[in-house]
């Protein structure tokens, strides 16, 4: 009975999902990239995520620093590495609040760097052109970040200009997380905002779970 | 806990893909959806943050069809891997009938794999369950990166770190490219349905 049921499930699954079954070779060695100096950097970048913690970002930044030493003689490669470092530092500081395109830029710059570093036939002019394209993207991101900061500041200023609540009433707006005037207030406001957001997320998840549960009944 | 509706002749089982952040849980479901969308005829629900990370969960229902007179439905979920979403993870884990633990093969993610497996055990404990109570399959993901020269943990190391006590079925896979993604899913479904068999028969 048991085997009958199991084999029926297996056969149904085979019918549904039949044309895939390539096995990954469990090899242990390193292929393609071999002992290339960028190997560790690539691994570090692959692990960079929004759940960024100080140690992983520190690892990435240190790797970039050490590569800058290694590539002293190659101005183009050095250019790419010097683009990566401020982006990594920015993500390390801002973590989940980084601009959404920041991690994308990190990957884009790295991909271009890899293309340039690995290619044997690319002319210097071509390499410089790729570097310039990445520098443009970096500049654009920088402008976006500044614009975003300015917009936030305006929202805070508008809130400050609005009529003040009566004494004892709750403030109309939380101070901006980036508030530079009183750092301790800024930090605590940012922490409160983060906790609020977390609670909101958890409630949303709970509602979603209830909805699915209802749908499934 | 599976929903068994004897009146309607329906069985619905919940399988949760668990593991460290950026390990490839969502990519597993996306691969299945992309590849077999025409056959499973269901929609994948996914909620992501602006950084392309799973915020709540991904959800992919699969209709297996009639077996022994029951309509079998499988619901595949992923949990958000990021450490800060533990409450959401616990919530999604509630009532799980089977688990796929997606481990990241990158050398530098070794610690995160172990921590995530421990987190899974802790969260199961809140539902008075342990890792041996629930059917579980381990998937060692991102094996394709080996060809790019990225330092990966050996399969022996992954087995030693994660599977010494569990002795669960394990697969080296690439959620990005596809190898063993389906095999992992098939295995967990068969194990889950087998464990639910007593409720069905």
Q: B109 and A47 in contact by Cβ < 8 A?
A: yes
Mutate to test the interface with A, among B10, B88, B113, B159 (most CBs of A within 10 A): B88
B97 burial type by CB count under 10 A (0-12 exposed, 13-18 middle, 19+ buried): buried
pLDDT in tens, B8-56: 778 899 999 999 988 999 999 999 988 888 887 788 887 665 555 555 6
pLDDT at A9: 87
pLDDT in tens, B143-170: 999 888 888 999 999 999 999 888 899 9
Residues in chain B within 8 Å Cβ distance of A212:
59
B69 interfaces chain A, CB cutoff of 8 Å? no
Q: B22 and A24 in contact by Cβ < 8 A?
A: no
In chain B, the residue whose alpha carbon lies closest to the alpha carbon of A195 is: B84
A159, A153, A144, A158: which is closest to A181 by C-alpha? A153
- pLDDT, averaged per 10 consecutive residues of chain A (217 residues), comes to 76 79 38 64 72 77 89 90 91 82 87 87 90 93 86 70 51 36 50 64 68 68
Q: Decide if B1 is inside a domain.
A: no
Residues in chain B within 8 Å Cβ distance of A14:
186
Indicate the DSSP class of residue B129.
-
Q: B149 and A51 in contact by Cβ < 8 A?
A: no
B113, B102, B120, B114: which is closest to B174 by C-alpha? B102
Does residue B71 contact residue B9 with C-beta atoms inside 8 Å? Answer: yes
Residues in chain B within 8 Å Cβ distance of A38:
none
From CA A113, how far away is CA A38, in angstroms rounded? 9
pLDDT at B51: 55
Containing domain of residue B167, as a range?
Answer: 8-193
pLDDT in tens, B71-95: 899 999 998 877 777 888 888 899 9
Q: Decide if B54 is inside a domain.
A: yes
Bridge pairing between strands B54-67 and B45-48: antiparallel
Indicate the DSSP class of residue B80.
-
Q: Decide if B147 is inside a domain.
A: yes
The token pair that represents B73 in the structure block: 């439905």
Mutate to test the interface with B, among A38, A49, A144, A214 (most CBs of B within 10 A): A49
Residues in chain A, total: 217
pTM of the model: 0.58
Domain ranges of chain A: 33-161+179-216
Residues in chain A within 8 Å Cβ distance of B144:
24
Which residue has 């089982």 as its token pair? Answer: B13
CATH of the domain at B148: 3.40.50.300
Mutate to test the interface with B, among A10, A90, A205, A213 (most CBs of B within 10 A): A205
Q: Decide if B200 is inside a domain.
A: no
Q: Decide if B21 is inside a domain.
A: yes
Please provide the average confidence, as pLDDT, over all residues in chain B: 87
Q: Decide if B173 is inside a domain.
A: yes
Which residue has 């596809």 as its token pair? Answer: B178
pLDDT in tens, B79-135: 887 777 788 888 889 999 999 999 999 999 999 999 999 999 999 999 999 998 899
B31 interfaces chain A, CB cutoff of 8 Å? no
State the smallest CA–CA distance between residue A9 and chain B in angstroms: 6
From CA A120, how far away is CA A157, in angstroms rounded? 54
- DSSP bridge partners of B138: B101, B170
State the smallest CA–CA distance between residue B129 and chain A in angstroms: 20
Does residue B149 contact residue A34 with C-beta atoms inside 8 Å? Answer: yes
Number of domains comprising chain B: 1
From CA B23, how far away is CA B104, in angstroms rounded? 5
pLDDT at A25: 41
pLDDT at B96: 94
pLDDT at A211: 74
pLDDT at A167: 46
B50 interfaces chain A, CB cutoff of 8 Å? yes
The token pair that represents B40 in the structure block: 């499973």
What values do phi and psi take at B63, rounded to 5?
Answer: -95, 115
């Amino acid at each position: 009975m048991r085997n009958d049921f199991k084999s029926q499930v297996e056969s149904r699954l085979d019918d549904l999902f039949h044309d895939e079954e390539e096995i990954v070779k469990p090899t242990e060695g390193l292929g393609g990239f071999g002992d290339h100096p960028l190997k560790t950097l690539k691994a570090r970048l692959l692990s960079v995520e929004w759940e960024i913690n100080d140690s992983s970002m520190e690892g990435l930044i240190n790797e970039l620093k050490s590569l800058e030493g290694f590539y002293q003689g190659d101005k183009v490669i050095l250019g790419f590495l010097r683009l990566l470092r401020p982006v990594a530092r920015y993500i390390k500081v801002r973590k989940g609040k980084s601009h959404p395109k920041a991690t994308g830029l990190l990957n884009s710059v790295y991909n271009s760097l890899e293309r340039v570093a690995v290619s044997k036939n690319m002319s210097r002019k071509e390499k410089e052109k790729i570097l310039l394209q990445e520098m443009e993207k970096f500049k654009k991101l920088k402008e976006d970040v500044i614009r975003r900061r300015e917009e936030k500041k305006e929202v805070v200023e508008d809130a400050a200009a609005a009529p003040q609540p009566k004494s004892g009433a709750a403030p109309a707006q939380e101070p901006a997380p980036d508030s530079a005037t009183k750092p301790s207030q800024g930090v605590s406001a940012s922490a409160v905002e983060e906790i609020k957001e977390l609670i909101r997320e958890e409630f949303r998840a709970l509602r979603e779970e209830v909805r699915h549960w209802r749908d499934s009944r | 806990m599976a929903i068994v509706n004897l009146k309607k002749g329906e069985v619905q089982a919940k399988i949760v893909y668990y593991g460290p952040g950026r390990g490839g849980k969502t990519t597993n479901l996306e691969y299945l959806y992309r590849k077999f969308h025409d056959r499973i005829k269901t929609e994948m629900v996914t909620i992501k943050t602006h950084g392309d990370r799973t915020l709540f969960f991904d959800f992919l229902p699969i209709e297996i069809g009639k077996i022994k007179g029951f309509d079998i439905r499988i619901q595949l979920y992923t949990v958000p891997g990021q450490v800060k979403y533990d409450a959401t993870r616990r919530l999604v884990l509630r009532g799980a009938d089977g688990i796929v633990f997606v481990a990241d093969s990158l050398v530098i993610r070794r610690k995160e794999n172990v921590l995530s497996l421990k987190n899974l055990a802790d969260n199961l404990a809140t539902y008075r369950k342990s890792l041996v109570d629930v059917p579980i399959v381990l998937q060692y993901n991102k094996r394709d990166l080996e060809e790019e020269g990225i330092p990966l943990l050996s399969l022996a190391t992954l087995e030693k770190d994660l599977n010494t006590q569990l002795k669960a079925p394990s697969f080296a896979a690439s959620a990005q490219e596809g190898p063993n993604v389906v095999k992992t899913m098939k295995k967990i479904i068969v194990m889950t349905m087998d464990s639910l068999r007593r409720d069905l028969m």
